Structure 1
Amino acid sequence: MKTFHSNLLFLGVAGLIFLGSSDRDSNVIASEIKAQAEIISETAGATKDSKPKKGGQVVESGAYHLELVPVKEDKGMHLDFYLQRGDNHEAIPNAKVTAQIQMPDGTQKTLPLKYDSKGKHYAALLASKASGQYQVKVTADIKGEKVNGRFSFKQ
């Protein structure tokens, strides 16, 4: 799927180069560029459901909407993870959720995320104040069905 999107992006860029080298009116060129950009974003999965609902990073995985919201706190990073059904964004409260985190220094840390029924999300505190890039893989087991999402954030 990523190869398809890459090829489509390449074709779009090649089309833009071709359009820029022709003698056509600049208004026509601008409208064609806008149309190609819309096609690329639509096929890349930028749907209304893949937009953040809580201000975090979103991954659409099959029938599920996954969203990670890292919040800086005094003791480290508070991780809020929203696991929802993709069709209606209904929270899924009974999953087993784990975050595997690669720290900025390359070490690995695994955190279980607990469900917060009041906030309708899973949460954990990552007790780290290290500056740099964090890579996060969240795995949710929903009644035996595995759902994964990959995220990253900087602190």
Structure 2
Amino acid sequence: MKALQKSIIGLGSIGLIFLAACGNETPATNSSNTNSAVATANPATSSSTTTATTTTTTQPKSEASAKTDHPQTSQGGQVIESGLYHLELVPVSEANGTHIDFFLQKGDTHEAISDAKVSAQIQLPSGEQKTLDLDYDAAGKHYAGFLPEKATGEYKVVMLTDIKGEKTNGRFAFNR
């Protein structure tokens, strides 16, 4: 009888541990379950850096806004919500390369940030690295650049932003 009681107590303890482990899991993704953000601080400097990663593919506007807390904010590209910032990459393939639109916005109202320094570090399908500085397009309220590469395959992009000394970076990928 005591052996049976010990077995029941042991199994019950294991079950509780399993439930506690599952119940305390902290999700690392946002509400659309496609993005993650990691914040790090560099003790040697007073500025902080936030890096966010996404591996999503381009979603239609209606699908993207239906899955986020910020309706009607997506331009149809890959979105990262990183702290106070909304980062969105919209690559458009053209005959002689890829036009890159990058939306950098702040707050729940997603106000465009026009005075940041924005560059893209791009890994081509061949593995070669390119850096592309993006300029602000006031009419479109976004940053834009052109990548004159025609290779087919996956392009990995790290968007580097400096907003008055605050760095917020986003990792994206797209296929051409």
- Name the residue aligned to 1:118: 139
Aligned CA-pair RMSD: 2.3
Cα deviation for residue 85 of structure 1 reads 0.5
- Name the residue aligned to 1:146: 167
What are the superposed Cα offsets for residues 70-109 of structure 1, whole Å, 9 maximum, x if unpaired?
0011220000000000321100000000100000000000
> Does 2:30 correspond to 1:45?
yes
Counterparts of 1:2-151 in structure 2, within 5 Å, are: 11=22, 44-46=29-31, 47-49=68-70, 53-151=74-172
Rounded Cα–Cα distance in structure 1 between residues aligned with 2:81 and 2:157: 15
Task: Among all aligned residue pairs of Structure 1 and Structure 2, give the percentage whose two residues are the same amino acid.
Answer: 58
Distance 1:132 1:153, change over 3 A: same
What are the superposed Cα offsets for residues 20-72 of structure 1, whole Å, 9 maximum, x if unpaired?
xxxxxxxxxxxxxxxxxxxx9x8731232398610000111110000000001
Aligned pairs, how many?
Answer: 118
Larger RCO (CA within 8 A; separation ≥ 6): 2
Which TM-score applies when normalising by structure 2? Answer: 0.62
Q: Which has the larger radius of gyration?
A: 2
Distance 1:53 1:105, change over 3 A: same
User: What is the letter of the counterpart of residue 121 of structure 1?
Assistant: H
Distance 1:58 1:51, change over 3 A: farther
